[in-house]
Amino acid sequence: MNIERDFSLKNYNTFGLDVKAKQFVSVKTEKDLTQSLQQVYASEILVLGGGSNMLLTQDIDKTVFHIDLKGKKVLNETDESVLLKVAAGENWHDFVMWCVERNYGGIENLALIPGNVGTSPIQNIGAYGVELKDVFVECEAIHIQSLEQRIFTKKECDFGYRNSIFKSKVKGQYIITSVVFELSKKNHTLKTDYGAILKQLEKQDVSTPTIKSIAEAVIAIRQEKLPNPSEIGNSGSFFKNPIISTKFFKKLQQQYPEIPFYKLSSTEIKVPAGWLIEQAGFKGIKRGDAGVHKRQALVLVNYGTATGEEILALAKEIQQTIQDKFNILLEMEVNIIS
Ligand code: EPU
């Protein structure tokens, strides 16, 4: 175990923010993890996976644990499906492509989502009609304070839209060490009903889609609309899409007949935050090196030397403007670390 001091996290967060950690330890085995945890107070730890869903606003006066556990294991296999146990530190997109190559179906729509396998359940990552919970079986986690290992079943995870027990009841208490997925080996359920996917498949001249062609379509769509974090720092969607009552939506629709929406139930409607932000005039704007992406208003970006505080200030300005203009509170999807 190698503890580094005053360690720059620039290469460990996808916003590319040059923030220093008082101590930094990269753990590669579970034994490493428990041993390192024994040496620090639970309240003085910050857990880092792919660093793709956090905004670091100042130097971290704690020990940062970089979870670098690796490995994929087939637990069980039938003609129809495969049960895979994957270590938390595996890169999410690499895992998706590994499955696509083996014709394991279920996560092809989640290609190119930044982050690691171990953080995917925390916010129940989702895109193009698929959510992590659709393939999730259980995950193993370690309690930071007691060091006890525990399995969380799918039911216990209490998954919702970009939400789980790890963001609510047990927030900050556990480190996820591995995740078990069930994927299909044949008769895949292909999700192509999301408008942009159908259009992209047509563009690729695909009439009979496979999991590979869907992954390729998703990659093409994301590359066109979303900035690559290794080129422009970002954290994907910065805000959640707000869920509002049908009654309130009807009023909004009278004023803005072209507002896109997604009906969740007879009483609830989800509206795209990106549309609201664009309407409020923020798309493509820059405040120093902090900005709103020019092709997707839901994504805040660091054009180079922005600080976490500057990005947060921009996020708050957007929140306030949307509140004033539409009377809707935008909730941040990204974790603000202060
Ligand atoms: N829109 C605008 N202006 C914009 C962006 C979007 O008007 O600048 C409109 C679009 O025209 C469309 C609607 O908003 O009618 C929805 O846009 P899009 O399909 O791009 O999806 P989204 O709601 O912006 C969500 C997820 C994304 C995910 C996509 C595809 C959330 C918070 N975001 O975005 O997730 O990739 O759907 O499924 O739910 C992420 O979490 O990092 C992420 C990228």
- Identical fold for domains 72-184 and 233-337, yes or no, is no
CATH number of this structure's domain 233-337, picked from the four choices 3.30.420.40, 3.90.78.10, 3.40.50.300, 3.40.50.2300: 3.90.78.10
Domain coordinates of the chain in residue numbers?
4-67, 72-184, 233-337
Instruction: Work out which ligand 1 atom sits closest to the CA atom of 283.
Output: 8
The token pair at 87 is: 């270590």
Give the whole-angstrom CA distance, residue 161 versus residue 17.
Answer: 27
Q: Give the model's pLDDT for residue 128.
A: 95
Q: Give the model's pLDDT for residue 157.
A: 98
Give the whole-angstrom CA distance, residue 51 versus residue 56.
Answer: 10
* 43 has a pLDDT exceeding 90: no
Per the DSSP assignment, residues forming a β-bridge with 337 are 56
Q: Give the model's pLDDT for residue 194.
A: 86
pLDDT digits (tens, 9 = 90+) for 158-193: 999 999 999 999 999 999 999 999 999 999 999 998
Q: Give the model's pLDDT for residue 195.
A: 77
Any ligand 1 atom below 6 A from CB of 85: no
Q: Give the model's pLDDT for residue 225.
A: 93
**Ligand 1 probe mutation, 92, 237, 269, most atoms within 8 A of CB:** 237
Comparing 46-50, 148-152, 301-305, 311-315, which segment has the lowest mean pLDDT?
A: 46-50
Return the residue whose CA atom lies nearest to atom 25 of ligand 1: 127
Burial (CB count <10 Å: 0-12, 13-18, 19+), residue 82 = buried
Radius of gyration of the chain (CA): 20
Q: Considering the entire predicted model, what is its pTM?
A: 0.95
Exposure string of 242-277, with b = 16+ CB inside 10 Å and e = fewer, is bbbeeeebeebeeeeeebebeeeeeeebbbbbbbbb
Number of CB atoms found within 10 A of residue 223's CB: 11
**For the chain, first and last CA: distance in Å?**
27
Number of CB atoms found within 10 A of residue 157's CB: 21
Query: Going by C-beta distance under 8 Å and a sequence separation of 6 or more, which residues neighbour residue 18?
Result: 8, 9, 10
Give the whole-angstrom CA distance, residue 322 versus residue 318.
Answer: 6
Per the DSSP assignment, residues forming a β-bridge with 163 are 160
* 302 has a pLDDT exceeding 90: yes
pLDDT digits (tens, 9 = 90+) for 84-135: 999 999 999 999 999 999 999 999 999 999 999 999 999 999 999 999 999 9
- 72-184 architecture in CATH? 2-Layer Sandwich (3.30)
- What Cα–Cα distance (Å) separates residue 119 from each residue in 4, 5, 87, 193? 23, 25, 11, 27
Q: Give the model's pLDDT for residue 187.
A: 96
SS3 call for 134: helix
Give the whole-angstrom CA distance, residue 290 versus residue 124.
Answer: 27
Return the residue whose CA atom lies nearest to atom 42 of ligand 1: 236
Q: Catalytic annotation on 295?
A: no
Q: DSSP assignment of 56-76, as one string? A: E-S-EEEEEEEE----EEEEE
Number of CB atoms found within 10 A of residue 146's CB: 11
Q: Catalytic annotation on 333?
A: yes
CA of 272 to the centre of ligand 1 (A): 6
Average pLDDT, the chain: 96
* 1 has a pLDDT exceeding 80: no
Q: What mean pLDDT is predicted for residues 68-78?
A: 98
Give the whole-angstrom CA distance, residue 293 versus residue 299.
Answer: 6
Give the whole-angstrom CA distance, residue 228 versus residue 232.
Answer: 6
**Domain at 4-67: CATH code:** 3.30.43.10
Any ligand 1 atom below 6 A from CB of 127: yes
> Looking at the chain, how many residues does it have?
338
How many whole angstroms from its chain centre is CA 78?
Answer: 30
The token pair at 188 is: 């895949």
Query: Going by C-beta distance under 8 Å and a sequence separation of 6 or more, which residues neighbour residue 39?
Result: none
Return the residue whose CA atom lies nearest to atom 28 of ligand 1: 127
CB 272 within 8 A of CB 225: no
Q: Give the model's pLDDT for residue 239.
A: 98
Q: What mean pLDDT is predicted for residues 216-245?
A: 96
